[in-house]
Chain A
Amino acid sequence: MGTLSDYVGSGFCEMNAADGPREHYKPLVARFDDFDLGALESRMALIESLLRRQGITFAVYDDEQGLERTWPLDIVPRLISASEWDHLERGLTQRVRVLNAFLDDLYQGEQQIIRDGVIPRWLIESSSGFLPEAMGISAPNESRCVISGIDLVRDGEGVYRVLEDNLRVPSGISYVLENRVAMTRVLPQAFSRYRVRPVAHFGASLLATLRSLAPAGVTDPTVVVLTPGVHNSAYFEHAFLARHMGVELVEGRDLVVDGRIVYMRTTRGLDRVDVIYRRVGDEFLDPVVFRPNSLLGVPGLMAAVRAGTVSLANPVGNGAADDKGIYPYVPRMIDYYLGEEPMLPNVETYLLWEPDHLEYVLDNLGTLVVKPVAEAGGTGIVFGPSSDHHTLEDLAKTLQSDPRGYIAQEVVQLSTHPTFTDKGLAPRHIDLRPFVLSGPNGVEVVPGGLTRVALREGSLVVNSSQGGGSKDTWVLID
């Protein structure tokens, strides 16, 4: 008996069409026929021990207590056909090009998009991610979204939609690379039936992109990764990226600014730094300019950035473009800057400052999902269908008093994928976070991305901080 050939999906199933497995999944189904559940279980155990031994973990609480969670990787890979990927790649490229253009217009241009009445000024100026401190700071090649993660979902009809843009400090790329390495060790047989686009060159691509941001006149720039430190939940990734690029991983206290130049403290004295890939949030970067009590940043850093002696990736202020209240305007931006139709549609979104939207939302709270505009990682989200009466009543009051602080969306029935569970292979909802680089040669999409899985049956919450898992994502070559 086959573990995948007997599988029955639910909702929009990534693997099976109405008449059996989709063409590109057929070799995988055949391969899984060689395994019984016991064989899959032992491979799952191998994955867990592999990742655990190498310390591939996340959500570190108190390390001394040994409470890190091993990164959860599922044994069944998610497959994307070449033609499907071609569509996604072009859609993502289009979107990131436009977001770059928008941010450049906003911070360094004439704010033409506001003058032309496409986006209201008050909306931008009321965004917590919009930083007047970033006005006039230039970005080479319009690379504002140097590295971004665009969250995609596939709805009940199988249409890929953009759920949100992450343009500040998106995490997850290290897990894309580690997932691939682990899968080649645990399931080598499956790879032999496919040609899969590689992801291993990412470190080199990122380094080349970061080097291209060097201040004028610096021919051999020193690049560093700036981390908030070992207690940050994404610390593993920060170290991973530094290691894969072969550059120093620094904390704020390792850097010092003198005469508007940034240096790092080494055993041989001070070394000049030219490009900082920072994984510290905007408001913590420089206590002189932003939060004065931040210990994670570097006093004087923004003065150096402004003087043009050092470049930040991503630059400050990108939050203005991934604000969820601005997200509904991205299709209009695509039309405005490129004169094109969006290739990847948004999810239907309601703006609570529009009276008719607000009225609709208040009448239908029980079927909608409500999200705070400036949060990430699934924080503060309320699912109408799974909330009780009191929660919804409180929510209605909040929305009326702070309409700019939230958006409401139709609940997307995410597509499902066969996933190893304690009851065998069963459907679980998934999404996809592809990673996009903006560099000297334009926009480059890393093949695939991070597929996140809602491990709880029926759940639509895929965030790893809330019990989500992951899958290796294979982009196939025809």
Chain B
Amino acid sequence: MLSRHAENLFWIGRYIERAEDTARLLDVTYHGLLEAGSEREPSEVWSECLEMLMLEDEGIDTSETVGERLIADRSEPGSIVSMVGRARQNGRTTRELLSIEVFEALNDLYLFLVGRDLVTEARDRPYEVLRTVKSSCQAVGGSVDACMPRGEGYRFFLMGQRLERSLITTRVLRVWHRRAMQLGTQAAFSEWVRLLRSVSAYEAYLRTFKAAMEESQVLAFLVQSPDLPRSVLHCLRMVENLLDELDMGDMGVQVRREAGRVRSLVEFADISRYVGEGLDGFLETIEAGVLGLAESVEKSYFRPAGPIFMHSYEAF
């Protein structure tokens, strides 16, 4: 497969995952604010949200309209509409590799966003807009699963999606935990709910552990659960399998080694040791590991260097 196409599919996976996660986080943040009433300063809650999305250095102001802007502002690279626009643009350049259903799912989402007064709707009924974004992103993933042949294109899409997902889960946990440490008291039940909802793990947690919020248990669940599709471990195992299946011979050795290293770091960590002060450092290591892995994927498969690119060309 062309390197450029592989890279495009990898990034469609990342953008769509990010758009879905952004929608989920915004939804949770809106609701958190409503439920918390006057307890918390809204701008502070929004800064946390930006940090969870790794947008803290983008100079986004956290005034009242930040939620709408993160949905509808085209000039904001991290907004949902911008990310979906880029995913679709990538989709147009790899259209011949996507099955028609995948492209249509992507296009439907894009047309939903640009075909209306999104700013007004994001302000007046954010819940509905965000819910449509989430389900449309899942429709893209679903049509990939249902319609794309299990070749390189499929695998690079999934790899992008899972790397992005593991990053967001790590980040959400990290930001949430840092704040809990600052407060110094045991987190309120509603705060635990907010954390779990941010990564779509609330109901799964209740079914597994009942309504008992125990810190090391929640942490282990989000980091190490082998069954939770948004746990860091689940995502990284998937990435590792995908790399194995790609079977790139020597080209892939370095990346696979790196994937294995990060995954075992997550899998075999004794989380109970990290409860309290140590967790932030642990999560930081994981985050750096995942970012490094994503970079290695790009370097190895999309932009391999070689003497051939230093050629001087002959005219005739």
Q: Which residues of A contact B (CB under 8 A)?
A: 52-55, 63-66, 229-230, 235, 239-240, 242-243, 248-251, 253-254, 256-258, 260, 264-270, 288-289, 299-300, 302-303, 306
**Is B73's CB within 8 Å of the partner chain A?**
no
| A52-B111, A230-B89, A239-B95 as given contacts; A253 in contact with B4, CB under 8 Å | yes
**Is B224's CB within 8 Å of the partner chain A?**
no
| A230-B93, A239-B95 as given contacts; A266 in contact with B1, CB under 8 Å | yes
Q: Quick check: B2 and A250 within 8 Å, CB to CB?
A: yes
Report which residue of B85, B108, B308 has the largest number of chain A beta carbons within 10 angstroms of its beta carbon. B308
Q: How many chain B residues touch A (Cβ–Cβ < 8 Å)?
A: 36
Q: Quick check: A267 and B1 within 8 Å, CB to CB?
A: yes
Chain B 95-130 near chain A by CB (<8 Å), digits 1 or 0:
110001001100110110011000000000000000
Report the bound CA distance from A239 to B96 in whole Å: 6
Report the bound CA distance from A267 to B108 in whole Å: 30
List chain B residues, Cβ under 8 A from A260.
314
Q: Quick check: A267 and B248 within 8 Å, CB to CB?
A: yes
| A52-B111, A243-B95, A303-B313 as given contacts; A254 in contact with B2, CB under 8 Å | yes
Q: Quick check: A257 and B96 within 8 Å, CB to CB?
A: no
In the complex, which residues 299-316 of chain B have their Cβ closer than 8 Å to any Cβ of chain A? 301-302, 304, 308-309, 311, 313-316
Q: Which of A52, A267, A269, A288 contacts B315 (CB 8 A)?
A: A288
| A268-B248, A270-B308 as given contacts; A254 in contact with B96, CB under 8 Å | no
List chain A residues, Cβ under 8 A from B5.
248
- Between-chain CB contacts (< 8 Å), 17 pairs: A53-B108, A55-B103, A63-B85, A63-B89, A64-B89, A66-B110, A230-B92, A239-B92, A240-B96, A248-B5, A251-B4, A256-B309, A260-B314, A265-B2, A267-B248, A288-B315, A303-B315
Which chain B residue has the least Cβ–Cβ distance from A55? B107
Which chain A residue has the least Cβ–Cβ distance from B95? A239
Report the bound CA distance from A267 to B5 in whole Å: 9
**Is B190's CB within 8 Å of the partner chain A?**
no
Q: Quick check: A242 and B315 within 8 Å, CB to CB?
A: no
Report the bound CA distance from A334 to B26 in whole Å: 70
**Is B60's CB within 8 Å of the partner chain A?**
no
Which chain A residue has the least Cβ–Cβ distance from B307? A258
Report which residue of B3, B6, B95, B313 has the largest number of chain A beta carbons within 10 angstroms of its beta carbon. B313
List chain A residues, Cβ under 8 A from B308.
256, 258, 270
- Closest Cβ of chain B: how far from A289's Cβ, in Å? 6
Q: Quick check: A302 and B316 within 8 Å, CB to CB?
A: yes
**Is B51's CB within 8 Å of the partner chain A?**
no
List chain B residues, Cβ under 8 A from A235.
92
Q: Quick check: A266 and B2 within 8 Å, CB to CB?
A: yes
| A54-B100, A267-B6 as given contacts; A258 in contact with B314, CB under 8 Å | no
**Is B261's CB within 8 Å of the partner chain A?**
no
List chain A residues, Cβ under 8 A from B4.
251, 253-254, 265
Q: Quick check: B2 and A300 within 8 Å, CB to CB?
A: no
List chain B residues, Cβ under 8 A from A306.
316
The secondary structure that dominates the A interface is mixed
Report the bound CA distance from A256 to B312 in whole Å: 11
Q: Quick check: A303 and B314 within 8 Å, CB to CB?
A: yes
Report the bound CA distance from A55 to B5 in whole Å: 19
- Closest Cβ of chain A: how far from B216's Cβ, in Å? 41
Q: Which of B92, B104, B114 contacts A66 (CB 8 A)?
A: B114
**Is B152's CB within 8 Å of the partner chain A?**
yes
List chain A residues, Cβ under 8 A from B251.
268-269
Which chain A residue has the least Cβ–Cβ distance from B247? A268
Report the bound CA distance from A50 to B252 in whole Å: 42
Report the bound CA distance from A270 to B251 in whole Å: 13
In the complex, which residues 52-94 of chain B have their Cβ closer than 8 Å to any Cβ of chain A? 74, 82, 85, 89, 92-93
Q: Quick check: A303 and B96 within 8 Å, CB to CB?
A: no
List chain B residues, Cβ under 8 A from A64.
74, 82, 85, 89
List chain B residues, Cβ under 8 A from A65.
74
- Closest Cβ of chain A: how far from B5's Cβ, in Å? 8
- Closest Cβ of chain B: how far from A268's Cβ, in Å? 7
| A54-B100, A299-B313 as given contacts; A267 in contact with B301, CB under 8 Å | yes
Report the bound CA distance from A250 to B94 in whole Å: 10
Q: Quick check: B96 and A242 within 8 Å, CB to CB?
A: yes
List chain A residues, Cβ under 8 A from B92.
55, 63, 230, 235, 239
Chain B 269-309 near chain A by CB (<8 Å), digits 1 or 0:
00000000000000000000000000000000110100011
Q: Quick check: A53 and B96 within 8 Å, CB to CB?
A: no
Please list the 10 inter-chain residue pairs (A to B) with the smallest Cβ-Cβ separation, ordered nearest first. Answer: A243-B96, A66-B114, A300-B313, A299-B313, A239-B95, A242-B96, A267-B301, A230-B93, A288-B315, A265-B3
Q: A64-B82, A65-B74, A267-B152 are in contact. List 7 more A-B contacts (CB 8 A).
A: A64-B74, A264-B2, A266-B3, A268-B248, A288-B313, A300-B313, A303-B316
Q: Quick check: A257 and B313 within 8 Å, CB to CB?
A: yes
Report the bound CA distance from A434 to B224 in whole Å: 62
Report the bound CA distance from A300 to B104 in whole Å: 38
Report the bound CA distance from A74 to B173 in whole Å: 55
Which chain B residue has the least Cβ–Cβ distance from A67? B114
Report the bound CA distance from A153 to B108 in whole Å: 38
Chain B 1-31 near chain A by CB (<8 Å), digits 1 or 0:
1111110000000000000000000000000
Report the bound CA distance from A16 to B107 in whole Å: 42
Report the bound CA distance from A235 to B309 in whole Å: 27
- Closest Cβ of chain B: how far from A222's Cβ, in Å? 12
Report the bound CA distance from A265 to B308 in whole Å: 11
Report the bound CA distance from A260 to B315 in whole Å: 10
Report the bound CA distance from A54 to B111 in whole Å: 11
Report the bound CA distance from A261 to B13 in whole Å: 34
List chain A residues, Cβ under 8 A from B110.
66
- Closest Cβ of chain A: how far from B49's Cβ, in Å? 24
